[in-house]
Each structure stands twice: as structure tokens, then as C-alpha cells.
Amino acid sequence: MSAVELRMRRPFGLGAYLVCLQGIVWRESLRFLHQRERFVSALVRPLVWLFIFAAGFRQTLGISIIPPYETYVLYDVYITPGLIAMIQLFNGMQSSLSMVYDREMGSMRMLLVSPAPRWFLLTSKLLAGVAVSILQVYAYLVIAYFWEIEPPSLWGYVTILPALVLSGLMLGALGMVLSSLIKQLENFAGVMNFVVFPMFFASSALYPLWRVQEGSPWLATVCAFNPFTYAVELIRFAFWGKVDPVSLAVVLGCTIVFLAAAVVAYDPARGMLMRRGG
Amino acid sequence: MNFGGSLPVAAALPAALAVEGVSHAYGARKALDDVSFAVEPATFAVLLGLNGAGKSTLFSIVTHLYASKAGAVRIFGYDVARESGAALAELGVVFQSRTLDLDLTVEQNMLYQGALHGIGRREALARSRELIGRVGLADRRHDRARHLSGGQMRRVEIARALLHAPRLVLLDEPTAGLDIKARADILALVRDLVVEDRVGVLWTTHLVDEVRPEDSVVVLHKGRVLASDSARAVMEAAGTASITAAFTKLTAGDGEEEA
């Protein structure tokens, strides 16, 4: 024992982890509430699709009875899960860009200098983003309710929640991986063109896959390999109080892969964070 | 059990910060070349270097943003790369760029920092009140950070860096962009911390006039340590009367080397 006893540090125990997670989610929510424009635009985007796009296509596109639906449904009802997933996709990309921004501004460094393990910090940050996206989704669902889009049972509003957590995690983790690759923060246009639009359009968000198959088997294949499709279907089934095992498995698997990739990307030794000429 | 006099003389206490043979390169460009120095506990140490000397790279490595290609950094004996949790718990940081959440109040910023260190709300609140008072901003506690002046933001950042009672505080160009009065205030505040709280401080700057003769000084130039001693000793070795002259002399003699 050394002559001078070092002051004992409190170990980073379970309580400290919880405090840390809670603090990160709390900060993200506070920031979100302060940025009213962000909330409004997050809400306006899907509503434009719903009120204009879906209304226009209502007559043109008949949706036959496909699971999980047991009756004919209106096109508005069909695209709602896709729009919900779109809210989460945007939110995931936006928070990834804010991470790039944070990185430049130093608040990301503030986060990473915490003694908690880095995988935990990143996961907490991710969960904080998911919490914000879920707020947005429920705000959208409230408005959609008055547009007569509602699940067969009110339980749908509860059963959708775990699906939202999972799909939010998947899309957020994807954004996090991207954030480690994007060097400049002026690149939202690039992310829109190369990530958001292709993922959204090449999926089952706007049209059922069997329809795509009729038009273009090639595109249907792309859709079938797009993880976003499974996020949409997971949400669609959950909103109708059902579980689609394939979607669940794919979304779960992708979440794990993306999250692992994000942790690797932010690992100090791999040097993804190194800025040239720092 | 024998607690007699046979105990070895207490092994030298670990330095607050020990940088041991750290080298780093971005591609072909060497940013740090075998950098070694130490900051003793409860001392005020200045890392002097011009822009591009490698200060930012060193800072990133010490704060565990990324790992060095060679060498090790220890904080109170804990290796930053391998025992990062223990090492970072001893470390408080004030980054050069402003890192307060501008939309949050001063106190909310402090609570967030507490959470990142696993300190619960009640304890963080008490600590925060004390520290905010200490940096002279008790009446601004509930103001949004956006409404503070540059100097006030810095003071909040210093209070924030102290929230988890670290024994080593790193400040990266903390006076950059501040007016003379604010600069002097910040400097005095941090010097007081060293005396009163026995905190070890590494103060990064290119402003030589912030150095006092009794400070320890590390002169970093083009990724290499040119001198690491007390400011007085550095002046003597350079044969100059002021630290400014010593710094100019040291860094000028090395000018021809270019990658």
C-alpha cells in the first residue's frame, strides 16, 4: 500500500449508468423542445404526403387485401406505416448529422470524454434520438386519427410502440454509422439523395411489394433487400396488433449489425474520428 | 504481518498527467514525434506552442478521442487507452470550441455534465450551485447559456469541468477570443484552483504572456518537445531574460525543418 492513499473513486456502477442514460435522453428531449421549427417540419413532412400525395392517389391505387389487413383499406391507411418509418428515418439521419455538427462543435467530445464506456454512450445517444422520434410519431398519429386513420383496435397505439423502438434504433444506428463517414456537415443534400430517397422509394412504404413485382421485378428485388422495407412492415403489422416474424428478425439483425459498426467507427483506436490536420 | 520500516520508500506518486513517448501521424505527416512530459499534481503547467505545433492532436489523444500510434498517456497512473474509465474520471476538460448547449440554462448544462459522470440530480445540483457561485455567476444560474458573454461562458465551462471533482483539468486555449479583462479573470480563477483545490492544470496556449516564472512549461513545436521545465529554468537554459524571448529563440532555431 502506498504511503499516500489515493482517494477512492466511486466505481461506475449500475446506478451511474442509469443516471447517465437518463441525462442523455433528458438533454436530447430538452433540445428538441427548444427547436420548435424542427418539430414542426418533422410533422409537416409526413402530413404533406398524407394530405396531398395519398389523397391524390386514393382513387388511382387500389390496395387489395394483403396481410395484415383483413378488409380493403384506403391508400391513406396503407401509407401511414411508411410515413411513420419516414419520420424515424429523417430523425435518424438528422441526429446523425447533428453528431457530425456536434463533433465539430465539441459537444460530441464532451460526451465521449465521459468515463462511461463508449458503446454505452453511443447507445444512450441513440436511445435519446429514438425517444424524440417516438414523440414525433405519436404527434403524427394524433393528427392522422382525425383523418380517420386508426387501427382496428385502440391497442394498436400500444402494440406499435415496441416496433417503433426497434425500427428507430435500426435507423438511428444506420445514421450513426453514416455520421462517422461524413466529413463535412453541409452534406444533408447528399444524405437525402443517396440515403433517404432511395431507402424510402425502394421499399414497401408507398406501394405493396406485389405491385412493384408486377411493374419491375428488378426493383422488387431491391426492395426485398432494403432494411427499410422491413421497418415499414414491422410497424404496419404492429399497428394492426400483429407480429411479422420475418420483419422482426431482419430489423433486429440489422440493428445489431449497424450498432456494432457504429461502435467500431467511434472506437478511438480505429481512428475514424481523426480529422486530418487536427 | 509486518508494517515495519521495511516498506519501500513510497513509490513516487503518479504524475497527474504523464505523456510517454507519444507519436502520431496523419498519413505521412507527423503531428507528434516522441512527445514526453509530465504534469505534477497541484501544479500549473503551460503547454506552449504556435498554431500547428500539435497541441490539438495531443489534446485529442489525452481526452481519448483517438488513440496514439505509439506511446502512452497516463492520468494519475491510469492508462487512457486501456483504463479509460478510471483515467477519464480524474480528468476535467475545457475544450477550445464552445461546448455549452446554448438553448439550455447554465444549471441544465451542469446537470447534463453530472449525468455524464454518473452523478445524480440532487448531488449534481448542490455541486453545481457551489461551483457556479465560485466562478461568480450565481445570479445567472437560470439564464440560457446563449445570453452569456464569452468570458462568462468560459467560466461556466470551467465550473462544469470541475463538477465531478477531477484532480487534473485540461484547458485548450481557454482565453482565445476573450478581451483582456476576461482573460485575466479566467487565468486568475484557474490559478486559484491550483492553490486552493490542489488541482493539476495543463493550460494550452500560444500566448506567452500568460506564463509566470514559477509555472512549469512545455514548449511544443512541430510535434516535438523543445523544452519541459519550470519557466525560470527554460529562460536560464535559453539565456534569455523573458519567457517570450526564450520561446522565440527556441522555436526559431528549428525553423528550417519542413516535412
- At B104-134, the pLDDT tens digits run 999 999 999 999 999 999 999 999 999 999 9
Give pLDDT, residue B135.
93
In a domain, B224, yes or no: yes
Choose among A42, A39, A15, A28: nearest CA to A124. Answer: A28
Please give the model's pTM, rounded to 2 decimal places: 0.85
Residue B27 has pLDDT above 90, yes or no: no
In a domain, B9, yes or no: no
Which residues are registered as beta bridge partners of B74?
B18, B79
Collapsed DSSP state (helix, strand, coil) of residue A276: coil
Q: Which residue among A2, A24, A117 sits closest to B115, beta carbon to beta carbon?
A: A24
In a domain, B17, yes or no: no
Which residues are registered as beta bridge partners of B75?
B17, B78
- Asked if residue B193 and residue B85 are part of one domain, the reply reads yes
**N-terminal to C-terminal alpha carbon distance within chain A:** 41
- Please check whether residue A41 is in contact with residue A86, taking contact to mean a CB–CB distance below 8 angstroms: no
B117 neighbourhood in chain A, CB within 8 Å: 16, 20, 114-115
Residue B61 has pLDDT above 70, yes or no: yes
Percent of chain B beyond pLDDT 70? 93
The per-residue pLDDT string of chain A (278 residues; one tens digit each, 9 = 90 and over) reads 332 333 345 567 888 999 999 999 999 889 888 888 888 888 898 999 888 888 888 776 666 778 888 888 888 899 999 999 999 999 988 887 777 766 666 677 888 899 999 899 999 999 999 999 999 999 999 999 998 888 999 999 999 999 999 999 999 999 888 877 776 545 667 777 788 889 999 999 988 888 888 888 999 999 999 999 999 999 999 999 999 999 999 999 999 999 999 888 888 776 556 543 33
pLDDT band of B256, cuts 50, 70, 90? very low
- Asked if residue B244 and residue B124 are part of one domain, the reply reads no
- At B224-237, the pLDDT tens digits run 999 999 999 999 99
In a domain, A18, yes or no: no
Rounded CA separation A259/A249 (Å) = 15
- Asked if residue B208 and residue B146 are part of one domain, the reply reads no
In a domain, B23, yes or no: no
Q: What is the ipTM of this complex?
A: 0.85
In a domain, A63, yes or no: yes
Mean pLDDT of B187-206: 93
In a domain, B157, yes or no: yes
- Asked if residue B238 and residue B172 are part of one domain, the reply reads yes
- Asked if residue B174 and residue B245 are part of one domain, the reply reads yes
In a domain, A109, yes or no: yes
Mean pLDDT of B72-86: 93
In the A/B pair of chains, how many CB contacts fall below 8 A?
Answer: 129
Residue B147 has pLDDT above 90, yes or no: yes
In a domain, B150, yes or no: yes
Q: Which domain-ending residue is among B165, B199, B218?
A: B165
**DSSP H or E segment with residue A88:** helix A75-105
Mutation choice for A interface testing from B57, B112, B169 by most A CBs within 10 A? B112
| Shortest Cα distance, chain A CAs vs residue B62, angstroms | 10
Give A249's contacts (C-beta < 8 A, 6+ positions apart).
none
Q: Which domain-ending residue is among B138, B165, B192?
A: B165
**N-terminal to C-terminal alpha carbon distance within chain B:** 60
- Asked if residue B66 and residue B178 are part of one domain, the reply reads yes
Q: CATH code at B215?
A: 3.40.50.300
A26 neighbourhood in chain B, CB within 8 Å: 112, 115
- Please check whether residue A132 is in contact with residue A90, taking contact to mean a CB–CB distance below 8 angstroms: no
In a domain, A53, yes or no: yes
- Asked if residue B217 and residue B177 are part of one domain, the reply reads yes
In a domain, A23, yes or no: no
CA A271 from centre of chain: 26
Q: Which domain-ending residue is among B113, B134, B165?
A: B165
In a domain, A278, yes or no: no
Ordered DSSP codes for B111-126:
HHHHHHTT--HHHHHH
Give pLDDT, residue B109.
95
Nearest residue of B to residue A110, measured between CA atoms: B99
Give A34's contacts (C-beta < 8 A, 6+ positions apart).
B103, B104
Do residue A112 and residue B108 have CB atoms under 8 angstroms apart? Answer: no
Domain tally for chain A? 1
Domain ranges, residue A72: 32-265
Do residue B90 and residue A4 have CB atoms under 8 angstroms apart? Answer: no
Give A147's contacts (C-beta < 8 A, 6+ positions apart).
A50, A51, A76
Domain tally for chain B? 2
Give pLDDT, residue B90.
94
- Asked if residue B184 and residue B243 are part of one domain, the reply reads yes
Give pLDDT, residue B12.
67
- Asked if residue B216 and residue B105 are part of one domain, the reply reads no
- Asked if residue B194 and residue B82 are part of one domain, the reply reads yes
- Asked if residue B183 and residue B116 are part of one domain, the reply reads no
Domain ranges, residue B212: 39-90+166-253
Do residue A268 and residue B65 have CB atoms under 8 angstroms apart? Answer: yes
Give pLDDT, residue A99.
73
Give pLDDT, residue A273.
61
In a domain, A272, yes or no: no
Give pLDDT, residue B4.
43
Do residue A276 and residue B27 have CB atoms under 8 angstroms apart? Answer: yes
Nearest residue of B to residue A5, measured between CA atoms: B13
Choose among B131, B135, B243: nearest CA to B188. Answer: B135
In a domain, B55, yes or no: yes
What cell does B11 get? Answer: 513509490
Beta strand B44-48 with B216-221: parallel, antiparallel or unpaired?
Answer: parallel
Q: Which residue among B66, B89, B115 sits closest to A22, beta carbon to beta carbon?
A: B115
Nearest residue of B to residue A2, measured between CA atoms: B10
Rounded CA separation A167/A199 (Å) = 14
Do residue A12 and residue B85 have CB atoms under 8 angstroms apart? Answer: yes
- Asked if residue B81 and residue B201 are part of one domain, the reply reads yes
